[in-house]
């Protein structure tokens, strides 16, 4: 087993983060102040060097189990260029919407290594996925089984599926990002799987079940839960084999590996997780006399988050003596809703050069019309002043993908950097684009 020490998800900052001779923050030989001047703020930035490093770590960590299929969880961050990076690395994709499928197609990526997940896929989405050659669906409920079979039958095809189950495993993470406990909107409870199997084997002749899928949550720091999850899945494979005389040869354990958002975070390394998962696969296959299955994993956050950061410009301040000093940014909950949604925490620092060391505790407030629009609470910054450029680390996941036009804000641009080069991979939204779908009906003119 490979036991390399530290992996990219355990680092707070992207690789090659330093102060240059000007005193400005620099990442991948790109001056962050110059990036802010060139592309304006707020600005999403992805470091390709850091991203490629974590991709290689995942591939290296799981290479000891040749049947591993790594599928990137697109919901974390989906753009055409990001998709190309993962496709070029021979990764598959886990998608949850027609929009994510369309983005892959727009990037020239076929769907032969794509899994379609989600608890309420529409008829339109299922049809679109089948028409474009999706590899398999992770089926979430009885309604989906019925409708998917109808669509497949109408097209005279046999559609491959996995059955998503809730393994009854709870992780110590925020309630909003737990998905493996019994009380979940996702998947079949284990008490439901026999009914689902009866339908698939005896009624829904246009569906071919090849595996089971489970996902236990997100931003997970525990390790034993992955070992246990594999055990639950393979125990269910054994039970199904004994009762229905079929041996499913694929399991999908989802993703959820945590990353370092703050100095106090201590997530496991990718190698530690890989070793534990593979050890569990081998142990339980021996225990239950099963063939070793194809192993699907679905990392999302742990692949992209550490490679991303956001740049803001500081505007106004409000110092309430004896209570709190607010430092306001030109972005906030519209470009990063995570703190206001589930109290996510971040580290940040001023990117431009500062004279001396005059740190003070401040609260970074967004510009949007909500008291809950607080990006970082009680952070030590070096003499923050209007016009300073602020860098917030680890925003590569669930910031762009969850962004909104709240207060009719323009969505920020995204830049990909690599060894001194920077390129726009998502253009900043224009004012015209904000209203492009608005319609003024005749009787209001």
φ, ψ of residue 302 to 5 degrees: the values are -65, -15
Q: Where are the domains of the chain?
A: 1-48+305-445, 117-299
Domain 1-48+305-445 identical in fold to domain 117-299: no
Q: Tell me, what's the pLDDT at 217?
A: 87
**Which residues lie across from 329 on neighbouring strands?**
314
DSSP letter (8 states) at residue 373 = -
- The C-alpha angle with vertex 8 and arms to 7 and 9, in degrees rounded to 5, equals 95
Nearest CA to 332 among 305, 367, 363?
Answer: 367
The one catalytic residue among 285, 369, 391, 399: 369
For 117-299, CATH number out of 1.10.390.10, 3.20.20.10, 3.30.420.40, 3.20.20.70 equals 3.20.20.10
Count of residues in the chain: 445
| Range 1-48+305-445 classified under CATH 3.40.47.10 | no
Cβ-based neighbour number of residue 282 at 10 Å: 13
Q: What is the DSSP string of 384-415?
A: --TT-EEEEE--SSSSSTT---GGGPPPPEEE
Cβ-based neighbour number of residue 382 at 10 Å: 15
Q: How many CA atoms lie within 13 A of 137 on its CB side?
A: 31
Q: Tell me, what's the pLDDT at 406?
A: 97
Cα separation, 222 vs 188, whole angstroms:
24
| pLDDT in single tens digits along all 445 residues of the chain | 455 679 999 999 999 999 999 999 999 999 999 999 999 999 999 999 999 999 999 999 999 999 999 999 999 999 999 999 999 999 999 999 999 999 999 999 999 999 999 999 999 999 999 999 999 999 999 999 999 999 999 999 999 999 999 988 764 443 433 444 456 677 788 888 999 999 999 999 999 999 999 999 889 999 999 999 999 999 999 999 999 999 999 999 999 999 999 999 999 999 999 999 999 999 999 999 999 999 999 999 999 999 999 999 999 999 999 999 999 999 999 999 999 998 999 999 999 999 999 999 999 999 999 999 999 999 999 999 999 999 999 999 999 999 999 999 999 999 999 999 999 999 999 999 999 999 999 999 9
Q: What is the DSSP string of 229-272?
A: HHHHHHHHHHHHHHHHS----EEE----B----STT--PPPHHH
Q: Tell me, what's the pLDDT at 4?
A: 63
Catalytic residue status for 305:
no
How far CA 95 is from CA of 14, 195, 240, in Å, comes to 26, 26, 27
Q: Tell me, what's the pLDDT at 186?
A: 72
DSSP letter (8 states) at residue 125 = H
Q: Tell me, what's the pLDDT at 179?
A: 43
Q: Tell me, what's the pLDDT at 376?
A: 97
Whole-number CA gyration radius for the chain: 23
Q: How many CA atoms lie within 13 A of 411 on its CB side?
A: 15
């Amino acid at each position: 087993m490979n036991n390399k020490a530290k992996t990219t998800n355990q680092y707070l900052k992207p690789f090659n983060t330093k102060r240059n001779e000007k005193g400005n923050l620099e990442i991948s030989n790109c001056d962050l102040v110059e990036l802010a001047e060139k592309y304006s703020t707020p600005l999403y930035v992805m470091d390709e060097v850091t991203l490629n490093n974590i991709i290689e770590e995942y591939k290296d960590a799981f290479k000891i189990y040749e049947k591993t299929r790594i599928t990137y969880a697109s919901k974390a961050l989906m753009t055409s260029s990001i998709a190309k990076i993962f496709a070029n690395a021979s990764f598959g994709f886990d998608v949850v919407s027609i929009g994510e499928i369309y983005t892959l197609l727009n990037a020239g990526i076929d769907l032969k290594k794509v899994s379609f997940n989600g608890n309420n896929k529409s008829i339109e989405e299922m049809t679109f996925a089948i028409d474009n050659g999706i590899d398999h669906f992770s089926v979430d409920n009885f309604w989906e089984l019925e409708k998917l079979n109808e669509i497949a039958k109408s097209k005279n095809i046999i559609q491959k599926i996995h059955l998503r189950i809730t393994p009854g495993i709870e992780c110590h993470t925020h309630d909003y990002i737990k998905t493996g406990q019994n009380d979940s909107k996702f998947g079949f409870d284990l008490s439901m799987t026999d009914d689902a199997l009866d339908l698939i084997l005896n009624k829904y002749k246009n569906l071919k079940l090849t595996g089971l899928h489970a996902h236990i949550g997100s931003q997970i720091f525990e390790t034993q839960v992955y070992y246990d999850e594999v055990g639950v899945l393979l125990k269910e494979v054994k039970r199904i084999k004994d009762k229905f005389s079929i041996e499913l040869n694929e399991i999908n354990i989802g993703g959820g590996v945590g990353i370092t958002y703050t100095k106090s975070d201590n997530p496991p390394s990718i190698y530690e997780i890989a070793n534990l998962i593979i050890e569990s696969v081998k142990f339980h296959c021996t225990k239950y006399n099963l063939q070793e299955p194809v192993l699907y994993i679905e990392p999302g956050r742990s692949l992209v988050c550490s490679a991303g950061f956001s740049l803001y410009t500081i505007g106004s301040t409000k110092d309430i003596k004896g209570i709190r000093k607010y430092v306001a940014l030109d972005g906030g909950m519209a470009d990063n809703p995570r703190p206001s949604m589930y109290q996510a925490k971040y580290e940040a620092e001023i990117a431009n050069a500062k004279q001396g060391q005059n740190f003070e505790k401040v609260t970074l407030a967004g510009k949007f019309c909500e008291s809950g629009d607080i990006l970082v609470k009680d952070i030590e910054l070096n003499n923050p002043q209007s016009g300073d450029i602020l860098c917030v680390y680890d925003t590569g996941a669930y910031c762009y993908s969850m962004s909104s036009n709240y207060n009719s804000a323009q969505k920020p641009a995204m830049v990909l950097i690599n060894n001194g080069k920077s390129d726009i991979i998502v253009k900043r939204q224009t004012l015209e684009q904000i209203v492009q779908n608005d319609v003024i009906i005749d009787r209001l003119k």
